[in-house]
Structure 1
Amino acid sequence: MDFTPTDEQEAARELAARIFGDLSTPERLAGLGGGSDTELWKALGGAGLTAAVEETGLLGLVLMLEEQGRTTAQVPFAASCVYGLLALAEHGTQEQRERLLPGLRDGATVATGAFPARGGIVITGREDGGGGGVRARLTGTVPWVPWLRDATQVLVAVREGGAAGGEAGEAEESIHSLWMVSADDAGCEPVELTAPWAAGRLVLDGTPAERIGGPRAYGEVLAAARTAFAGLQAGVCAGSLARAVEYTNEREQFGRPLAAKQGVQLRAAEAHMDIEAIRVTAYEAAWRRDEGLPYGSHALTAAWWASEAGKRVVHTGQHLHGGMGADLDHPVHRHFLWGRQIDGYLGAGGELLEELGGLIAAGRETGTTEGSTS
């Protein structure tokens, strides 16, 4: 394994760091409230960073998401790239790619995903949509979808009961399928989350949808999403710890910086090790995906570290600020909110361990073009 970024990946990361650092300042974020930064989103698209994900792969995206996490920039970068750009590039038909990818590349189209599939969405009236596509209508609700208020396209993960039409050996299992719906055709009710992710409650009532990919698509997109958000968490945690280190070096108590105290050093060291665990497991999962290797279990491992270690780190960052950490307007509090939101998104620690254990017990791997299951 070699996680050394290519020249293209390193260039994309450096450009992302510069744009996020210049535009996503604490003062600017304070004025956004719970909405997204449209100017920053246009800057990312104009700089070609969304389009670059097709060339830099999932590892390149993880590197750029780390830089977003450091500043908690309020843009749907992870969601649009994972549920839109990468999902369609890998699983879309030729017609779907030609129609939808150009807008996703320049940011004119914003995608998000109603993930993971938890039931509640009913498929009715499947039909051949022409050009190798399958169309249907979807009915049901999803309690909250990140960045839904910004989205123009929503990738809906559906869990269907029974295995009619499924692969051999799945007779008693659910089938998962992916469907793209236009946000204009769906209902959106604003929802406030822990983090300001412009979320909404997705309401579908006979909403037209088009099938994306085959039976393996769901597992592969979910694994990519877990890896990407783990990378985002690594950046969120790194930003939190960096603020704590700066604060404890400047804040003095009894004539000495707080950073000179052994207890502070130990907490910071533990947080640093947790961040490295999140980062390296996310890198490994992303690298394996880009190399065409099985990575479903690796994505689950990265997501587990992002959940369990991530919340430890953001709690540490806030704790090391002492009384200042209790100030809801302090920049470190944003990292705390993001860290706790990512903690439970796409599965909390216990859920992820249960899924990983089931994967190992069944002796199968997901998140690869070879031998994956739905």
Structure 2
Amino acid sequence: MDFDPTEEQAAARGLAARIFGDLATHERLAAAGTGSDPELWKSLCAAGLPEAVEETGLLGLVLLAEEQGRTTAQVPFTASAVYGLLTVARHGTREQRARLLPGLRAGTTVVAGAFPAYDGPGDVRTEPGGRLRGTVPWVPWLRDASHVLVPDETRALWLVAAEDCGVEPVELTAPWSAGRLVLDGARGERVGVPGAYAGVLGAARIAFAGLQAGVCAGALARAVAYTSVREQFGRPLSSHQAVQLRAADAHMDTEAIRVTAYEAAWRYDEGLPCAEEALTAAWWAAEAGTRVVHAGQHLHGGLGADLEHPVHRHFLWGRQLGVYLGCGTELLAELGDLLAKGTPA
């Protein structure tokens, strides 16, 4: 097991860090409100970062998702890469890959995922002719999507054009351009063989755990910078033992999210069973991630309660990711069932 990035992965991560750092500034994010930043998305696509995911694999995506999370950049990068590009590349037919991958690489095709937080049957049913009916209460980045990847009640995967769906705007805790998906006889395109659902769900859990690792790292970096210059009783806050211990705990939690996401992504790329590892990464991201963003806000003192402060955005993203990945008890129950069965997926 080797977590050292390849030359290609390191180059892609460095490029992503520069673009996100230059363009996902506090001022631009504030101006975007609850929507996405189309200029940032164009810059990422012009730099070839969506296409790079195909070459660098899921571990490469986790590294890039960290950079997105570090700046809480409001673009559908992680979602479209995992539900669109990686899904089509691994599970699509030759014809689907030839038709869909060019747009996914260029960023002109954006895929959102109407996936539940837990591994259970969805609320969408399939009728004869591949027509889909049902609703999904909220789908992240749906308002930015050209297509939606939808699992039905049998866990078959269908790709549906967003223009054929009903999309009602929904505001979440985090500004993810979400929407309520309404399917009223929309025709879907089957993607993957039976069993592909589990692989896509696992990959999504791993990718969004990587996103959470970046969110937490960004929150902690802001807290460290603030406590190093803010003085209390003539001393920097960072010199107080209680502050140091709180920051140290947050650092260890962040590293736990990162390393479990890296391990799960590495196993996925190597074609090894990774369902247990994906659940482990998701649990750490949901549980520890919530602790870290709370700590980041708390270490800012009264300033952390300011809704306009940059650290508050990390708090919102961390809370939303915890909800999206599923509560800790649900994830542990699912992991326990998987371990009890003793059958790797």
Question: TM-score w.r.t. structure 2 length?
Answer: 0.98
Q: Name 2:309's counterpart in structure 1.
A: 330
Q: Name 1:167's counterpart in structure 2.
A: none
Q: Which segments of 5 or more consecutive residues in structure 1 lack a partner in the other structure?
A: 127-135, 161-175, 367-374
The structure carrying a bigger helix percent of its residues is: 2
Is it true that 1:353 corresponds to 2:332 in the alignment? yes
Distance 2:327 2:11 in 1: 33
Secondary structure of 2:156 counterpart: strand
Q: C-alpha displacement at 1:99, in angstroms?
A: 1.1
Distance 2:279 2:227 in 1: 34
Match of 2:247 among 234, 257, 268: 268
Decide whether the 8 Å contact of 1:115 with 1:346 is kept in 2: no
Q: Name 1:106's counterpart in structure 2.
A: 106
Distance 2:329 2:304 in 1: 28
* Alignment deviations for residues 315-366 of structure 1 (CA, whole Å, 9 cap, x no partner): 0000000000000000000000000000011322111101100001111122
Is it true that 1:213 corresponds to 2:216 in the alignment? no
Q: Name 2:167's counterpart in structure 1.
A: 188
Distance 1:59 1:40 in 2: 23
Q: Name 1:369's counterpart in structure 2.
A: none
1:104 alignment partner AA: L
Q: Name 1:173's counterpart in structure 2.
A: none
Q: Name 1:154's counterpart in structure 2.
A: 148
Distance 2:146 2:121 in 1: 22
Within a 5 Å distance, the mapping from 1:173-252 to structure 2 comes to: 176-252=155-231
Q: Root-mean-square deviation (CA), in Å?
A: 0.7
Q: Name 1:2's counterpart in structure 2.
A: 2
Is it true that 1:119 corresponds to 2:129 in the alignment? no
1:8 alignment partner AA: E
2:228 alignment partner AA: N
Distance 1:158 1:114 in 2: 10
Task: Return the index of the structure with the highest Cα Rg.
Answer: 1
Q: Name 2:79's counterpart in structure 1.
A: 79
Secondary structure of 1:356 counterpart: helix
Decide whether the 8 Å contact of 1:156 with 1:181 is kept in 2: yes
Q: How many residues align?
A: 342
Secondary structure of 1:345 counterpart: helix
Decide whether the 8 Å contact of 1:185 with 1:207 is kept in 2: yes
2:162 alignment partner AA: A
Q: C-alpha displacement at 1:216, in angstroms?
A: 1.5
Q: C-alpha displacement at 1:154, in angstroms?
A: 0.3
Distance 1:122 1:275 in 2: 38
Q: Name 2:321's counterpart in structure 1.
A: 342
* Alignment deviations for residues 239-285 of structure 1 (CA, whole Å, 9 cap, x no partner): 00000000001100111000000000000000000000000000000
2:225 alignment partner AA: E
1:137 alignment partner AA: R
Percent identity, aligned pairs only, is 72
Secondary structure of 1:237 counterpart: helix
